[in-house]
């Protein structure tokens, strides 16, 4: 590799897997590796070892890459590169100054942000939003994250608490959400929400084929099982999936009516299931969105995988380095 300054290392920290990749400024993943998040050595050590190994696998001197980005499934103080006081999926990282730790260890600029903010930057720089000035990512995984780019700037909110469309209320008297609210999109349309909604319904319908799919044990019902059962017409699953599509459509309408982005990207681990339901999701969005606004918006469903998420953390590096060269505060921790 001739020009290492055009390369970044992206690390995606997930609740079960940590992935690292060497990514170029066109979004190509040149090498990538994964390890379990809770493998025994601790998430911080796993991050450092993955950076060492993935750069070695690509034949690179890590000290010469443009920077290292880390996406974390938590609120992050991106300005200080510190993971928020709560990190439910990776509790050991709560409050940790990850950017400083990584920058000091490797001697290159390091950046930390919420994983879906990073994903939004990847879709904007390399993916479905390439060439636009605005996009919103809705990421349906175990939970439900989102990220916003407006006028070419990642929107984090005044206190870093923005871009949480997963907690858009879609039902006033709906089911309680793990955020403390009620009737949120996440409890209807995330992987966890779909599975839990189905478990509640089979409790009142012990003869359902969905319960038989789970071997008679409601606790074993997964979102994938619910989507598959709905596709063959199983009534309990079909009702849950119908609600999921309507909730997702209503939230697309909130996004479109409120922000008028050029592109809305639906991605994440559950996106493959929604891709098969695209017409229903778009019809639900059209039920609620202002007609001119939704007609002018490109809605794209992009099934996610780990290679995409490492591109997100790398996109964070390219985005922040470009910004540091212009106006605004660089969200970087640089080695001294
Ligand atoms: Zn919520």
- In tens digits, the chain (336 residues) has pLDDT values of 457 889 999 999 988 899 999 999 999 999 999 999 998 899 999 999 999 999 999 999 999 999 999 999 999 999 999 999 999 889 999 999 999 999 999 999 999 999 999 999 999 999 999 999 999 999 999 899 999 999 999 999 988 888 999 999 999 999 999 999 999 999 999 999 999 999 999 988 889 999 999 999 999 999 999 999 999 999 999 999 999 999 999 999 999 999 999 999 999 999 999 999 999 999 999 999 999 999 999 999 998 766 677 999 999 999 999 987 654 444 566 665
Q: What is the DSSP string of 128-153?
A: TTTT-S-EEEEEESSSEEEEEEETTE
Cα(70)–Cα(12) distance, rounded to whole angstroms? 6
CA of 84 to the centre of ligand 1 (A): 18
CA 78/CA 193 separation, integer angstroms = 28
Using the mean position of ligand 1's atoms as its centre, give its distance from the Cα of residue 18 in Å.
25
Give the whole-angstrom CA distance, residue 181 versus residue 215. 32
How far does the centroid of ligand 1 lie from the alpha carbon of residue 168, in Å?
A: 7
CA of 87 to the centre of ligand 1 (A): 16
- Could you give the domains of the chain? 4-108+306-324 (3.30.420.40), 132-303 (3.30.420.40)
pLDDT for 334 = 66
Answering whether pTM is above 0.85, one says yes
What's residue 336's pLDDT? Answer: 57
- The per-residue pLDDT for 308 is 72
Q: What pLDDT does residue 330 have? A: 45
d(CA 166, ligand 1 centre) in Å: 7
| pLDDT of amino acid 1 | 46
Q: Is 255 left (phi over 0), alpha (psi -120 to 50) or beta?
A: alpha
Cα 259 to ligand 1 centroid, rounded to whole Å: 20
Distance 321 CA to ligand 1 centre (A): 33
269: CA distance to ligand 1 center in Å? 19
- Residue 167 Cα to ligand 1 midpoint, Å, equals 4
pLDDT, position 194:
98
**Distance between Cα 24 and ligand 1 center (Å):** 36
Q: What is the pLDDT of residue 332?
A: 60
Residue 56 is predicted with a pLDDT of 97
Q: How far is the CA of 128 from the centre of ligand 1 (A)?
A: 27
The CA 8 to ligand 1 mean position distance, Å, reads 34
**Cα–Cα distances in Å, from 191 out to 85, 244, 296, 309?**
25, 10, 29, 18
- Please list the residues that pair with 299 across neighbouring strands: 264
Distance in Å, CA 243 to ligand 1 centroid: 16
Give 164 Cα–ligand 1 centroid separation in angstroms: 9
pLDDT the model gives residue 32: 95
Interval between CA 183 and ligand 1 midpoint (Å)? 7
Predicted pLDDT of residue 326: 52
Alpha-carbon distance 181 to 283, whole Å? Answer: 27
CA of 169 to the centre of ligand 1 (A): 8
Question: What does the pLDDT read at residue 5?
Answer: 80
């Amino acid at each position: 590799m001739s020009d290492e300054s055009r390369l970044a290392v992206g690390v995606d920290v997930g609740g079960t897997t940590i992935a690292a990749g060497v990514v170029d400024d066109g979004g190509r993943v040149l090498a990538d590796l994964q390890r379990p998040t809770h493998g025994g050595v601790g998430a911080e050590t796993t991050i450092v070892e993955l950076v060492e190994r993935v750069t070695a696998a690509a034949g690179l001197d890590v000290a010469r890459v443009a920077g290292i980005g880390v996406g974390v499934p938590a609120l992050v103080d991106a300005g200080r590169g510190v993971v928020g006081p709560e990190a439910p999926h990776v509790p050991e990282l709560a409050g940790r100054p990850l950017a400083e730790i990584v920058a000091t260890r490797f001697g290159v600029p390091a950046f930390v942000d919420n994983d879906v903010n990073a994903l939004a930057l990847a879709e904007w720089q390399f993916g479905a939003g390439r060439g636009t000035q605005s996009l919103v990512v809705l990421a349906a995984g175990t939970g439900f994250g989102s990220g916003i780019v407006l006028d070419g700037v990642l929107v984090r909110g005044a206190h870093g608490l923005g871009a949480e469309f997963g907690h858009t209320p879609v039902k006033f008297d709906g089911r309680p959400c793990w955020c403390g609210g009620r009737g949120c999109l996440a409890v209807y349309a995330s992987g966890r929400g779909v599975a839990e909604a189905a478990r509640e319904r089979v409790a009142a319908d012990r003869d359902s084929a969905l319960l038989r799919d789970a071997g008679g044990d409601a606790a074993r019902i997964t979102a994938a099982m619910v989507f598959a059962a709905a596709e063959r017409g199983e009534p309990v699953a079909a009702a849950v999936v119908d609600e999921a599509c309507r909730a997702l459509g209503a939230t697309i309408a909130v996004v479109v009516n409120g922000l008028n982005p050029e592109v809305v990207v639906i991605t994440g681990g559950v996106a493959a299931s929604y891709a098969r339901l695209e017409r229903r999701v778009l019809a639900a969005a059209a039920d609620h969105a202002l007609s001119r606004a939704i007609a002018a918006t490109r809605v794209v469903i992009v099934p996610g995988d780990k290679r995409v998420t490492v591109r997100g953390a790398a996109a964070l590096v390219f985005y922040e380095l470009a910004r540091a060269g212009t106006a605004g505060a660089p969200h970087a921790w640089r080695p001294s």
